Structure 1
Amino acid sequence: MVHDHDDAMPEAGKDTPDQEKKIHAKYVLELLHEVRKLLKSMPNVVHVNTDIAQEITVCGDLHGSLDDLFVILHKNGLPSPDNPYIFNGDFVDRGNYSVEIACVLFVCMLLHPYEIIVNRGNHEDHVMNLRYGFIKEVMQKYKGHASKVIRLFQDIFSWLPLATVINKKVLVCHGGISSGTDMAILRDINRHNFESVLQPPLFYSSADELDVREWKQILDILWSDPCAKPGCFPNTYRGGGSYFGPDITKTILERHKFDLLIRSHQCKPDGYEYTHDGKVLTIFSASNYYEVGSNKGAYAKLSSKNKVRIVQFVANKKQGRKLTIKQRVKIVEESAISSLKSKIYGNKSTLMAEFIKGILRLTDWCNIMQSTLQIDLPWRSICPKVATITKDGLVEYNSIFEDLKMRNKISGEDIENHEQSSMAETVYRNKENLETIFRAMDKDNSGQICMSEFEEACQILCRHTGSLLSREHIVGMARNMDKNKDGYIDFAEFLEAFCIVDKFGKELIARRESVDNVSDEPESKVRRLSQGDLRSHLGSYTIT
């Protein structure tokens, strides 16, 4: 594919050793054009069987972890007619090598179009990519070519199949199902209409232009989670899809004559988990997802008789010994507490306003933390890990903030001034929402926005969150960030400017949520901002 172009290598990508290691933009673009042609010819629901191969391998989320993909291919072999694969979505975002994983998978698809299927996940979505790292990765790696690469990926993601059926008996999809899941409707949907599954109902002017029932079918397939409670109800944690109980699984599988649902979408400590009386299998293939040793990766091998064999693995070059379960739990817990402390400090002003209303009993403290942070956690158990409790059972609420400071990483100075601290808290607390707005405004993917766009982004944020930032403070903050005084701000630098450090000066990192049975951060916030607020506030700034 590339040998005809050795004499036509563009200059981009030759600057540094790190850049030389990446796949050249010219060949990435060629690859994307070719795989798009292939994907356009594929149905929404792909049917495969194991008549020839006898076994087929199903892999779950990889999230930019190239090491995990290499381990799978090393242990299980490359795709071939005798060794077919299904990659069940979410191969991009979060990790640093989403582009490389996509290229490996797409090359394999071109070489073996009938032996490797790549289903769409909820992160193969432009709005998700704006927030969870893929767009940023492409911009860093391809700079001047980034716009073309991003547009092609955006188009390709909308052409990925929505599901795969193995031997007419096993449904493979990324998220799950709902009480309304209908394979006949899924087969006939024009999936390319849904470049972002988060956007469509609010971005079309009439019901004639978009069948909301079709959108709901795709949303449920990509976003839903199983639960122990019977019935089907909205997935309020994620903000999209449904929670489906064992009765729904039984009904939908029987209706379509399926025996098993294989899905991904959630990190599991062992890399896999059976639920709903063995009728639902979750496969997650990104090991060490939260921290080194936090979880195993796994893939499933399905035989011609639909018998499942699970293979577990850990892709880790640094860890020389196997961690015990207790050690793994400790690693995840420490990471979660560090992340939680950063969230707490990012809401310091709001919390202090609540705390000063009276002496805090433990129950009062828990209620304030729950209502302010809007995070459903066992606060009574967490309290001793983040605050001091007196012998009388009262919470010394100030102890939450002891030994923590907000720091400006550009100047290297701690932020002591109350007004500056309040402003920094607002930015720190909402930097993911700000990044979504910034990237939507950054039409040329340059990584920079002008002063007026910066002001407008901050005003959108204030309206969305109810934060109070005066125009004077916003302008002052913008001018301080404009280091070369050219009227433009590098918003990646701006978003990373403020951090929280402990008494040793060590930065607290807000890591992935380490909540049981949840793989993503509370993405309901992504939907609320991305759909309603981006559409109503950005006006001419169309996400492309």
Structure 2
Amino acid sequence: MIQESERVDQDEDSENDQERVAYLKAFISRLMTAPMKEKSPAEVDVTVSKEEIRIISNYAAASFGSFSTLMRVDEDCLPVHIVGDLHGHFGDLRRIFGIHGAPGISHYVFLGDYVDRGRQGIETVMLLMAYHCLYPDHLFLCRGNHEDYNTTMTYGFFDECRMKYGKKGTLAWLHIINAFNHLPLAALILDKVLCMHGGISPHIQKLEDIDKIQRPTFIPSYGLACDLVWSDPEKTSNVGWSLSARGISFSFDDITIEKFCQDNGLDLIVRAHQISSEMIRGGHKWHANGRMVTIFSAANYLSMGNDSCVIRIDEQKTMQFCLLRPVKKSPKH
């Protein structure tokens, strides 16, 4: 028999959950329906409050912590859309949802780098966190090298928080950093497609090693967690692993990619983290005879005029590259 005190606790939990869902839906609706700025057609005219940052970041940290470090995405999630770097391109994120369907209808795996360098990192990451908290089985968020205390101090996100909230921006930034420290680091789709922000690592003997990474954590300067967000494929004369030109983690050649896929039963590795001249038109680049692909999803990144690319894997397990062209400024009258 359920005692009266237990029944009251259950009623309170149900009521709290309903309030949480209503809060998240109202927040998402406001951000998704806000107009674009007249003088800057790539930016959305919307503001996120410090209190919204605190509440949603805490919700997100708890939700991220309930997932394995290597998230498993099964066949029920098809079609699934894989999204690369966004770097505060909030308008591009809304365009992606507008074309492919919002979470709750469509499924997504995001590969990290939600903030830094762009003007609307706060809006971008808070919308993603809110959607994840509302539909955790529809929207999977991986960590990038920019979801980190040290990187955001250097490349603009800390400054964005201080610019928008003054001295209290530091606290808003810390709430978001706390959520970042709980983020998973990779996703495995259908046991055949491995997704992460950076790349593979010499510290992986088997994929289950990723699950051994303890969270919450900052991104270390060495080791498996570091490599998953920092390493890069490179065509060099060196065979195997080399120290990265970035000054952190490793680079690896095509032979290493193919061997990694064979050893772990993978068909493909999808990663982000880089944009090159070859990716300006098309937003993606192949490596290792089609065993790895790099995608980038922030259009016109740093005024490069590049396309945004999203990968779609459908119910037949075929892959499509879906492109967004940069937003053009309206002509002056």
Q: TM-score, normalised by structure 1?
A: 0.50
Match of 1:277 in 2: 289
Match of 2:252 in 1: 244
- Find runs of 4+ consecutive structure 1 residues off by over 4 angstroms: none
How far did 1:55 drift? 1.0
Could you list the per-position Cα deviations for residues 379-412 of structure 1 after superposition, in whole angstroms to 9, with x for gaps in the alignment?
Answer: xxxxxxxxxxxxxxxxxxxxxxxxxxxxxxxxxx
Structure 2 residue aligned with 1:34, among 59, 63, 75? 59
How far did 1:304 drift? 4.0
Structure 1 residue aligned with 2:270, among 259, 262, 265? 262
* CA–CA distance in structure 2, aligned partners of residues 300 and 256 of structure 1: 22
Gap change, CA 1:135 and 1:299, over 3 Å in 2: same
Could you list the per-position Cα deviations for residues 98-131 of structure 1 after superposition, in whole angstroms to 9, with x for gaps in the alignment?
Answer: 0000111011101111110110001111100001
Gap change, CA 1:26 and 1:218, over 3 Å in 2: same
1:78 maps to 2:97? no
SS at match of 1:249: helix
Structure 1 residue aligned with 2:150, among 95, 114, 127? 127
1:231 maps to 2:240? yes
Match of 2:311 in 1: 300
CA contact (8 A) 1:167 1:304 kept: no
1:310 maps to 2:324? no
Q: Which has the higher contact order (CA 8 A, sep 6+)?
A: 2
Match of 1:60 in 2: 84
* CA–CA distance in structure 2, aligned partners of residues 27 and 243 of structure 1: 39
CA contact (8 A) 1:181 1:220 kept: no
Trace 1:44-123 onto structure 2 (pairs within 5 A): 44-50=69-75, 52-80=76-104, 82-123=105-146
How far did 1:313 drift? 0.8
How far did 1:68 drift? 1.1
* CA–CA distance in structure 2, aligned partners of residues 111 and 262 of structure 1: 26
Gap change, CA 1:257 and 1:319, over 3 Å in 2: farther
* CA–CA distance in structure 1, aligned partners of residues 93 and 243 of structure 2: 33
User: Which AA in structure 2 matches 1:219?
Assistant: C
* CA–CA distance in structure 2, aligned partners of residues 22 and 287 of structure 1: 22
Match of 1:155 in 2: 178
How far did 1:197 drift? 2.8
User: Which AA in structure 2 matches 1:43?
Assistant: S
What are structure 2's unaligned runs of at least 5 residues? 1-19, 24-44
Gap change, CA 1:100 and 1:259, over 3 Å in 2: same
How far did 1:181 drift? 2.4
* CA–CA distance in structure 1, aligned partners of residues 166 and 46 of structure 2: 15
Structure showing greater Rg: 1
CA contact (8 A) 1:125 1:157 kept: yes
SS at match of 1:171: strand
How far did 1:292 drift? 5.5
CA contact (8 A) 1:181 1:252 kept: no
CA contact (8 A) 2:78 2:107 kept: no
Gap change, CA 1:319 and 1:197, over 3 Å in 2: farther
SS at match of 2:289: coil
SS at match of 1:159: coil
Gap change, CA 1:24 and 1:259, over 3 Å in 2: same
* CA–CA distance in structure 2, aligned partners of residues 180 and 27 of structure 1: 39
User: Which AA in structure 2 matches 1:45?
Assistant: L
How far did 1:319 drift? 6.5
* CA–CA distance in structure 2, aligned partners of residues 105 and 314 of structure 1: 22
CA contact (8 A) 2:219 2:225 kept: no
* CA–CA distance in structure 2, aligned partners of residues 292 and 128 of structure 1: 22
CA contact (8 A) 1:67 1:315 kept: no
Identical positions, percent: 28
1:219 maps to 2:226? yes
Could you list the per-position Cα deviations for residues 66-92 of structure 1 after superposition, in whole angstroms to 9, with x for gaps in the alignment?
Answer: 121111111111012x51001100011
CA contact (8 A) 1:179 1:248 kept: no
User: Which AA in structure 1 matches 2:106?
Assistant: N
| Aligned residues between the structures | 285
Q: TM-score, normalised by structure 2?
A: 0.81
CA contact (8 A) 1:228 1:276 kept: no
How far did 1:247 drift? 1.1
CA contact (8 A) 2:158 2:170 kept: no
How far did 1:54 drift? 2.8
* CA–CA distance in structure 2, aligned partners of residues 218 and 242 of structure 1: 12
CA contact (8 A) 2:115 2:157 kept: yes
Could you list the per-position Cα deviations for residues 262-301 of structure 1 after superposition, in whole angstroms to 9, with x for gaps in the alignment?
Answer: 00001121211111100011110011113162x1111000
